[in-house]
Structure formats: structure tokens, C-alpha cells
Amino acid sequence: MLWKVPILFVLSVLIGAENNENPQLDWWQTSVIYQIYPRSFKDSNTDGIGDLKGIEEQASYFKDTGIGAVWLSPINKSPMIDMGYDISDFTAIDPIFGTMEDFVSLQKKLDSLGIKLILDFVPNHSSDQHEWFKKSVKKVNPYTNYYVWRDPKGWLNETAPAPPNNWVSLFGGSAWKYNEERKQFYLHQFGEAQPDLNYRSKELVEEMKNVLKFWLDKGVHGIRTDSVPYLVEDDKFLDEPPYNKTSAVRLIGKKDYDALSHIYTKDQPESLKILRQFREVLDSYTQKGGPTRLLLTEAYTDIKHTIESYGTQESPIAQIPFNFYLLTELNDSSNAKAFNDTIHLWLDNMPKGRWPNWVIGNHDNSRVSTRFEPSAVDGINMLVQLLPGTAITYQGEEIGMEDTKVRQDQSSDIESPSRDPERTPFQWSSSPHAGFSTISGNTWLPVNPNYYTLNLEAQKKDPKSHYNIYKKLVKLRSNTVFQHGDINTYVVSERVFAFKRSIPEEEMCIIILNLNNEGEHVNLNTCMPDLPGKLNVYIASKNSEYNIGDQINTNDAGFYMRPKSALVLQGILKKETSSPQSTGAASSISQFSLVSVLLLSGILHHFL
């Protein structure tokens, strides 16, 4: 198909107050949240494993980069069967990461730098080594019902009890494990060593709220709540029906798990009620004074159930339900329309008065450089940092780290396929082990062999490196146009996507991504006719032929973009009497409204 004229998908998001006032945003709305995988950030004691002291030693890095908040993946005491997501003590630090004194010292260091601290909270399950579980096995009250126990459905033979139903674990196999001592099955939606907690027990709910209070008392500013779709199960324990793609959403690449529609084990309404109680705990601390305590939720599910984690105006839940759709829906083969549709998926469905967020990488998914390709890193970072809302960065994405090939004999992950490739140590320098550790042997996972050239130390010296471009983007987020400006999105051509952030009759910035592995001639005049004749280059990707300060033609002559290159352009917005922006500003700073979708019907009919 020849792409002759761009199809315009114009989304205007209004950010601001009545009478063009711009109220103060909260810390979590302006901050970049930086995810730290503690095992792989920095090793301070030469055991080859990252730790809390290592994070503290590098705390100035966050300040220098412009990071406003750091989020730590689990650091709780654990047998480490699932890399810390099997917790044996919710209020203790695992010795491999250090001590509680180390945690307090880190918290104080971050606080002195003005950086907020967010912790992982894993409420769905514990380790089978937790004292609660051991006492529950023995039916010691009040722990008897802290976990989901069920009698056998029958007996397969004299020694083999039948599971209560056909529920399946996300890690494969039955979700039920028989306990010989208690003579019952316990539910584990994840690994066998991760028994599900029972949120129909009021005592358990209070116990978990006390865990939150423990960490909030330690000075934590936010809680990232893990695996929220699985908190509560249907209490009838019926068999789940076979998977039917017309009525269920298939998200996990596990053959036996995907064979069923998880209508009884996932996204139950009762889970939202538990989350509301968690939010109430955090709000009670906010009301005592100091910064807002933030609730983030993790849910790999459909848009309807993800959005539900916002709660309502009267009964709010998460300020940030993680938006994983950039991560799960886009890759190197995605065209401009796919990028546009994925952005609209969130903004069009987000409830009135809520704040968006964007996640492009984490410890469970292949890195940006690998999912797309290394030359696309800057453009993807432009997308995440300059769309309206909170940006979340996984450690290493700012320098374009790539997945590492990890042999089976080097692997540590319980899950298959392994998530180890995206969890390898941070590449600080070209010194041994990339400056991550001074161990004489091997680090817990191998460092990527490309660390000799791909490392932070080298990138700091290169003005057009991924890192220095990332720093510029983070700084740019503080501009009014990115905190309060409208957004319009454009499918410029099949492989060129653009969006505009603007304040009417004031500044505007246009972000353009060439998604093509070939060069593209771009004519912005066809989709943005009211632009000034030239725009200034604010930021250019490392692989761009343009530099900061260059000027770009917006007339019919257009301009050329190299393969996978990206630009941030700046100019003064002309008065647009018929534009979507002329409808006025929303009454709430975090209020987003879809003003118009302009589809030229004749053109659309021609191309579709």
C-alpha cells in the first residue's frame, strides 16, 4: 500500500486549571520513578550480589540524573526460590542485601538528596518457610486460615489425593499442593513454595496492613503492590472453563495456564476491596503530614481490569496502576498506527481526574534495546519521558543496556523462559565485572560482554550518548508544556509517529519517531498545517544527523530522518482558532478529556 497522505488521529489532552492557571503537581506526578533490581545494581561487599550499601554508595547517581524516586524490587527475607518474591518475613531484610540498619541508612541518604523511596510489597503469597505458614499447617490460631486450604476432591488412588479443582499455577501444573501434615491442599497461584494468602481472613488482612505500617514508619514514601489480580479467588472453588479467545484475555505464555479462562482466580471484585484498605493505610500517613504516600499496582490484565485499580473519586485505590501496554504491545515490527493505538488505549480509557503513567521495561521483560533494537533507544525514551504523566524507568534503560545471553548452567530463575537476560548487573564502567563488583570470581549473573563499550562511564563523556540524551529528557519534563500542556498524536506515515505537547498560543514541542529501518522524508505540513515555517531541534537521538540548535523545515519541502532516529522540536504555537485546544482548559490538573478524534472519512475510506 502506498502511504500518500497521513491519517490524523488527534487526541487533545487538557492539563491545567480554569483561567489557565497551573496548580502545583504532586511529587509522584513530576518525578521519574527508577526501578532498582537490588541484586544487580551495585555490590558493596564483593560477594557478587548487589546490596543496600551498594545502592547507597551510588545514591548521587540518581540526583545527578534527575531521578525523583527509586523503587526497590523485593529486599525481604526469603529462601530466594523466586528471587525474593517468596517472602519468609515481611518485616525483615534478607542478609544478602544487608541489615535493617543498612536500610535505614539508605533511606536517610535518599531523603537527604530529596529522593523518595518506594518498596515492593508482595501481598498475594508468602514463602512456605514463613512462620505464618508453619503455624497454619499445624492449625495454630489465628494462623489456621491465613492461607487458602481445601480438602481433596477425592482420591486418585489409596495414596494420591485429588486436587480440589482444575486451577492451574502461572508457573505450570496444578495450583494445589497437598500437605501431608494438615491433610489438605493449599493454593499456590505461583510456585509450590509460594502459598497464597487468604484475604477472606480478617486477621490476615490486618496482619498485612501492619506490614505496610511497619515500612511507612521507616520512612517509605510509596508501595508498589505486586500481582494484584490474584489476591482473592472465588469462594465457590468451581472448575475454570476452557480458554475461549472470544471471552477471555490471554496474557501468559504458559501452555497449561493458557488452556483455561481464569474467571475464578483472577480479577475478582474482592481484590479491589483489599486494595482500597491498603490505600486507606497510606492515606492515613499522608494525613499525618509530609509527602503523599503513593500506591502503585502491578496487573498484567486487560485494560478494563487494569483501569479499575484507579478506584473512584469517592473511593480511590492506586494513584498509579502500572500501564504495561507500551511494554507488552509494541516491538520492533510495530508501525506508527500501533504506537498511536497503544497510547490511545490508556488515555482514552483513563477515568476523568486520573493521572497517566508509562512503563517500557522491567525485570520480567526483555530490554528495550533487544525488543526493538539499540538504535531505537533514544526515541523510546523520548516517548516515555515526554508523554503526559509519570515515567517509570528500569535500571539500565537510560544507557541502552541489552539482554545478556545466560547459559542454563548460569541461570537462577524459577520460571521458563528465563527472565535472567534482563536482570544482569548494571554496567557502570569498562573495569572488570563492569564496575558492578570487585569479586575475584563470578557475579550472581554474568555481566553482558558488551560492557567494555556500553557502560555509564563512557557515556558520560559522550554528549550524544543514550545517557546524556536521557538526562536532557528528564530535565525537559520540568517545563510547563510537559507538565500541563495538551497532547495531540499523529500517524505521519506508516512508519513515522509524532506527538505534540503544547500550551495554546505559547510554547509547543513536537516529538517525532522514525520507526523505520530505512530513512524517511517527513513533511509535517500535511498533518500540522499551522506550524511555523521552521522549528528548532531541542534534542536529537544519538543516530540523528541533526544537532541541538539546528532548524527543521515544516513546509512542503520537509526534512529527512535517518533510520530509527528521533527528534524533539520546539517552537511557538500559532493561534489556532479552530483547534481542539481552543475549547479551554480542564477544571482539574489531572483531568484528561478526549476532545476530538479527527478522521477524514474520504481518506480513511481510501486507505482502509
Q: How far apart are CA 541 and CA 539, in angstroms?
A: 7
Helix (H, G, I), strand (E, B) or coil at 137: helix
Residue at grid coordinates 511497619: 214
Q: How far apart are CA 187 and CA 124, in angstroms?
A: 11
Cβ burial of 314 (10 Å; 0-12, 13-18, 19+) is exposed
Q: What sign results for the dihedral spanned by CA atoms 429, 434, 439, 444?
A: positive
Q: How far apart are CA 197 and CA 199, in angstroms?
A: 6
Cβ burial of 289 (10 Å; 0-12, 13-18, 19+) is exposed
Q: How far apart are CA 560 and CA 250, in angstroms?
A: 40
Parallel, antiparallel, or unpaired for β 294-297 and 222-225? parallel
Residue 494 a catalytic site member: no
Closest CA to 397 of 417, 422, 432: 422
Is-contact 466 542, C-beta < 8 A? yes
Parallel, antiparallel, or unpaired for β 390-394 and 32-36? parallel
Q: How far apart are CA 389 and CA 405, in angstroms?
A: 34
Q: How far apart are CA 277 and CA 223, in angstroms?
A: 13
Residue 51 a catalytic site member: no
Helix (H), strand (E) at residue 570 = strand 566-572
Residue at grid coordinates 500517524: 491
Tell me which of 86, 298, 397, 494 is the catalytic residue. Answer: 298
Cβ burial of 449 (10 Å; 0-12, 13-18, 19+) is exposed
CA 573 to chain centre: 32
Closest CA to 415 of 242, 575, 252: 252
DSSP annotation of 331 reads -
Edge-first strand order for the sheet with 507-514 is 486-493, 496-502, 507-514, 566-572, 534-540, 551-553
Helix (H, G, I), strand (E, B) or coil at 73: coil
Neighbours of 503 (CB within 10 A): 20
Give the residue numbers annotated as catalytic, written as ranges. Answer: 226, 298
